[in-house]
């Protein structure tokens, strides 16, 4: 077989593997939105079966042979094909290097840990969760060894979520964020009265909140013929397949912000999924570049656009039409309310300024755990110490502290930094968009959000996994990833909202 034929055969096989992933994604979506409670056990079995079949198909030795045939004549492929082969090879190596036994042990440890975490969190009982985390850490260390990361264990963990990111670069980044953001918190909070949020609190009928969110999501250009929006207890976005991207949302009645910003966030993810080039569908490149890049899209829409003054100038009239209590409330007031900074214990409720400090706390602890410098039993003390130092408050119990997030119970260490990377990428992309789209603020103020979507589509979405994250950012913005645009953006915004000097 020549290299062309081998390539065609590889892509044909990969398309089937992707179909299995899509089917699994649809079953998972259904599990979160529609599934009757008594169907949960059978659904778990279906998902496990599909995962097994997918793994078997993907790691078929024939795939390795075909890849070798392509490599033998690699220079004959064009750049796009080379990128397809690069991603496919990485995924294949990863999938075949991990022994089945380790994968199974991990899956078992993970479901036990998830159960254990739910109980432990309900009782605020860290010692009950600690053995689960110890077991997961042991398996993660073995995984990093098998994958060839040696002593660079944290890099091995990052590789699952943000290929190319390193512990060393994140250490520098977080040191910078800690030293520059933490002092700003104090400065802003001395002027807390300048961002009063009472106008967005009260009673907001859910059906009307839904209408407001729909107006915004449509303006963003989320294609409802290629997607849908349903309810779930934890909002998420699932890019199931080409032409099928699903968002979920939840509502709270006494505050306008959570549902609105939740759905803008998920729609930002959704636009990314809908914008991946159709020619990449069912190929190795036909998915998002990295978690950090994915999060840059949701945060850009949620925070940079959705919490801007032009946004509120555009949508305050719609909000006032729906909610009599907002009649006569100036866009500036809504904008200030949307940007109120508060010290809080809970990461998912944090504002733009304190959010990355919450991530910094987790990064420090994860590194120490993975290095073996911190005993699992000592996590609560380390957590509380970090919280005190960075956010000036200490949780009253571990449920509000080190047990609050689900990630560790899923063995997802190395995941949190991608949230911060997403924030940084979003600001850098925004600066570039402003440079390249004159009048961007004015168009947002008219409620015209499509020019921005088109720019993001061309610069980010369309490429799928064609370029690694850092290269994608550099191609889109003309500069390698940097924290400076984010720090500039945040400083400018807070100066305006809080009238800082």
Q: Which residues bind Zn ion (CB under 5 A)?
A: 298
Q: Which is nearer to Zn ion, 283 or 298 (CB)?
A: 298
The least distance separating Zn ion from the CB of residue 269, rounded to whole angstroms, comes to 6
Q: Do residues 234 and 250 lie in contact, with contact meaning Cβ atoms separated by under 8 Å?
A: yes
State the DSSP H helix or E strand holding residue 392, giving kind and residue range, or none if neither. Answer: none
Q: Nearest to residue 194, comparing CAs of 488, 493, 492, 500?
A: 500
Residue 350 CB, shortest distance to Zn ion, in Å, is: 14
Angle, in degrees to the nearest 10, between helices 257-275 and 206-220: 30
Q: Could you tell me the smallest distance in angstroms from the CB atom of residue 295 to Zn ion?
A: 5
**Catalytic residue selected from 87, 162, 266, 295:** 266
Residues in the chain: 501
Give 81 or 298: the residue with its C-beta nearer to Zn ion: 298
Closer residue to Zn ion in complex, CB, 195/267: 267
Q: Least separation, in Å, of the C-beta of 298 and Zn ion?
A: 4
| Catalytic annotation present for 266 | yes
CB of 171 to Zn ion, least distance (A): 24
Nearest one of 235, 230, 241 to 268, comparing CA atoms: 235
Q: Tell me the residue number closest to Zn ion, measured at CB.
A: 298
In the bound state with Zn ion, the residue whose beta carbon lies nearer, of 298 and 423, is: 298
How many Cβ atoms are within 10 Å of 308's Cβ, its own excluded?
A: 19
Measured from the CB atom, the residue of 43 and 407 that comes closer to Zn ion is: 407
Q: Which residues contact 169 (CB under 8 A, 6 or more apart)?
A: none
> What burial letters (b/e) apply to 18-29, b meaning 16+ CB within 10 Å?
bebbbbbbeebb
Buried b (16+ CB within 10 A) or exposed e, 209-220: bbebbebbbebb
Label residue 173 exposed, middle or buried (CB < 10 Å: 0-12, 13-18, 19+): buried
CB of 299 to Zn ion, least distance (A): 7
Shortest Å distance, C-beta 422 to Zn ion: 7
What phi and psi, each to the nearest 5 degrees, are found at residue 227?
-175, 175
Q: Which is nearer to Zn ion, 386 or 418 (CB)?
A: 418
**Would you say 266 or 364 has its CB closer to Zn ion?**
266
CB 424 within 8 A of CB 483: yes
**Paired strand residues for 248:** 230
The tokens describing 148, both together, are 């060839």
Residue 243: half-sphere exposure toward Cβ, Cα within 13 Å: 4
169 exposure class (CB count in 10 Å sphere: 0-12, 13-18, 19+): middle
Residues paired with 246 in a beta bridge: 228, 238
Catalytically active residues, by annotation: 266
């Amino acid at each position: 077989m020549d290299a062309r034929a081998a390539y065609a055969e590889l892509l044909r096989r990969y398309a089937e593997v992707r179909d299995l992933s899509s089917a699994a994604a649809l079953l998972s979506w259904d599990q979160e939105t529609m599934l009757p409670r008594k169907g949960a056990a059978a659904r778990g079995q279906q998902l496990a079966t599909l995962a097994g079949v997918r793994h078997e198909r993907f790691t078929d030795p024939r795939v390795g042979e075909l890849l070798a045939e392509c490599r033998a004549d690699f220079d004959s492929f064009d750049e796009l094909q080379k990128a397809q082969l690069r991603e496919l090879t990485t995924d294949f190596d990863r999938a075949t290097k991990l022994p089945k036994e380790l994968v199974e042990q991990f899956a078992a440890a993970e479901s036990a840990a998830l159960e254990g975490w739910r109980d432990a969190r309900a009782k605020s009982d860290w010692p009950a969760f600690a053995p689960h985390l110890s077991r997961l850490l042991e398996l993660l260390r073995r995984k990093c060894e098998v994958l060839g990361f040696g002593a660079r264990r944290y890099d091995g963990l990052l590789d699952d979520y943000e290929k190319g990111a390193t512990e060393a670069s994140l250490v520098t980044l977080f040191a910078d964020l800690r030293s520059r953001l933490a002092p700003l918190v104090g400065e802003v909070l001395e002027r807390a009265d300048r961002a009063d949020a009472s106008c967005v609190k009260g009673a907001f009928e859910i059906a009307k909140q839904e209408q407001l969110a729909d107006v915004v999501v449509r303006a963003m250009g989320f294609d409802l013929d290629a997607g849908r929006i349903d309810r779930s207890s934890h909002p998420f976005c699932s890019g199931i397949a080409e032409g099928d991207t699903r968002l979920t949302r939840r509502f709270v009645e006494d505050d306008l912000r959570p549902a609105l910003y939740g759905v803008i966030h998920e729609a930002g993810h959704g636009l990314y999924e809908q914008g991946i080039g159709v020619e990449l569908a069912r190929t190795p490149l036909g998915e998002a570049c990295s978690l950090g890049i994915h999060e840059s899209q949701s945060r850009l829409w949620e925070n940079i656009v959705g919490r801007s003054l032009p946004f509120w100038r555009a949508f305050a009239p719609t909000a006032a039409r729906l909610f009599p209590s907002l009649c006569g409330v100036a866009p500036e007031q809504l904008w200030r309310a949307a940007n109120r900074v508060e010290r809080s214990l809970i990461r998912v409720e944090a504002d733009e300024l304190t959010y990355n400090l919450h991530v910094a706390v987790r990064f420090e602890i994860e590194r120490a755990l993975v290095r073996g410098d911190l005993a699992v039993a000592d996590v609560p003390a380390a957590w509380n110490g970090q919280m005190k130092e960075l956010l000036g408050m200490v949780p009253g119990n571990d449920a509000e502290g080190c047990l609050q997030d689900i990630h560790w119970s899923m063995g997802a260490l190395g995941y949190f930094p991608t949230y911060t990377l997403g924030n940084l990428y979003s600001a850098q992309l925004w600066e570039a968009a402003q440079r390249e789209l004159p009048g961007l603020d004015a168009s947002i103020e008219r409620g015209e959000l499509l020019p921005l979507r088109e720019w993001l589509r061309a610069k980010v979405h369309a490429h799928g996994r064609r370029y690694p994250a850092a290269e994608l950012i550099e191609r889109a913005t003309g500069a390698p990833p940097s924290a400076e645009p984010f720090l500039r953006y945040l400083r400018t915004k807070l100066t305006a909202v809080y009238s800082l000097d």
